[in-house]
């Protein structure tokens, strides 16, 4: 599934990619309170891009939180991201993922836009395998959980376990799955 994602992104013209994930679709915004803290992620080259959504939510007056972790085995926390235009408050973390600087205050998102490897049409999610999001969401119930994905990441079924957290919706460039 990582390979399918990589090959999909590799065949996509950059001029097209720049148009995708530009603004959250209206039904998605209906799921998000005006004063919600929004948890985003700093996308890798193959993940659904987040730079436009981050600026959009920031300009709409939301506080932005990004994940921070020290290794695949350590739990993830979120910290505030205050400079989505220049990203001067981010530093390189594990796996080349950029994350908030050490003195950025912790901030717990109400609504999370979540990266994934694969998803089903009913909101099941496969992540990187670190359990970071599953664990955080188990410890912080009642949050709005929205997956961001390319269409090729849709699969018929996933090997779901009891700890896996189901998404409330998934956004792709062509569709909104949910809200469930
Ligand atoms: N952009 C982004 N940030 C994120 C996540 C994510 O999936 N995407 N996470 C989601 O939980 C957390 C980080 N958790 C991670 C857990 C494991 C690996 C990992 O094993 N990476 C391997 C394989 C990468 C690949 O083949 O594509 C590596 O980089 O070697 C990466 C991140 C928080 N931040
Ligand atoms: N609520 C939890 N409490 C403790 N450990 C957990 C919890 N949820 C997941 N884990 C641990 O994380 C491991 C990896 O989970 P899983 O493979 O489902 O992660 P993932 O959803 O693919 O990754 P991620 O959420 O980081 O993107 C599990 O085998 C389990 O040991």
pLDDT tens track, the chain, 180 positions:
999 999 999 999 988 888 899 999 999 999 999 999 999 999 999 999 999 999 999 999 999 999 999 998 899 999 999 999 999 999 999 999 999 999 999 999 999 999 999 999 999 999 999 999 999 999 999 999 999 999 999 999 999 999 999 999 999 999 999 999
Res 112: pLDDT:
98
> CB of 130 within 8 A of CB of 98?
no
Give the CA dihedral 59, 92, 164, 63, nearest 10 degrees.
Answer: -20
Residue whose CA is at the smallest distance from ligand 2 atom 6: 135
Residue pointed to by tokens 């490897």: 117
Q: Is the CB of 134 under 6 A from ligand 2?
A: yes
Q: Which tokens hold the place of 126?
A: 């496969």
Alpha carbon distance 71, 85 (integer Å): 27
> CB of 54 within 8 A of CB of 148?
no
Question: How many whole angstroms from its chain centre is CA 61?
Answer: 19
Q: What is the pTM of this model?
A: 0.96
Domain that holds residue 68: 2-177
Structural domain count, the chain: 1
Q: Which tokens hold the place of 143?
A: 């949050």
Query: Interface pTM (ipTM) of the complex?
Result: 0.93
Res 18: pLDDT:
80
CATH number of the domain enclosing 74? 3.40.50.10420
Residues 6+ apart with CB under 8 A from 125: 114, 116, 118, 119, 133, 147, 158, 164, 165, 166, 167
Res 157: pLDDT:
97
Q: Is the CB of 90 under 6 A from ligand 1?
A: no
Q: What is the 110 CA–ligand 2 centroid distance (Å)? A: 20
Residues 6+ apart with CB under 8 A from 11: none
Q: Is the CB of 44 under 6 A from ligand 1?
A: yes
Distances from the Cα of 47 to the Cα of 22, 32, 60, 158, angstroms: 14, 22, 24, 19
**DSSP E strand stretches across the chain:** 38-39, 64-68, 77-81, 90-92, 98-100, 111-114, 118-119, 125-126, 144-148, 169-171, 176-177
CB count within 10 Å of CB 39 equals 27
């Amino acid at each position: 599934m990582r390979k399918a994602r990589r090959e999909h992104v590799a065949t996509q013209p950059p001029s097209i990619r720049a148009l995708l994930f530009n603004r959250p679709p209206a039904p998605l915004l209906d799921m998000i309170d005006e004063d919600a803290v929004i948890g985003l992620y700093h996308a890798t080259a193959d993940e659904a891009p987040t730079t436009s959504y981050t600026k959009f939510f920031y300009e709409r007056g939301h506080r932005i939180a990004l994940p921070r972790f020290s290794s695949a085995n350590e739990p993830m926390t979120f910290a505030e991201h205050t400079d989505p235009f220049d990203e001067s408050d981010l530093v390189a973390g594990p796996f080349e993922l950029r994350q908030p600087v050490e003195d950025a205050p912790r901030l717990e998102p109400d609504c999370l836009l979540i990266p994934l490897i694969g998803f089903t049409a009913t909101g099941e999610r496969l992540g990187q395998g670190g359990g970071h999001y599953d664990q955080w969401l188990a410890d912080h119930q009642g949050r709005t959980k929205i997956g961001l994905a390319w269409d090729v990441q849709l699969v018929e079924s996933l090997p779901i376990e009891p700890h896996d957290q189901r998404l409330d919706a998934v956004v792709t460039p062509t569709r909104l799955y949910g809200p469930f």
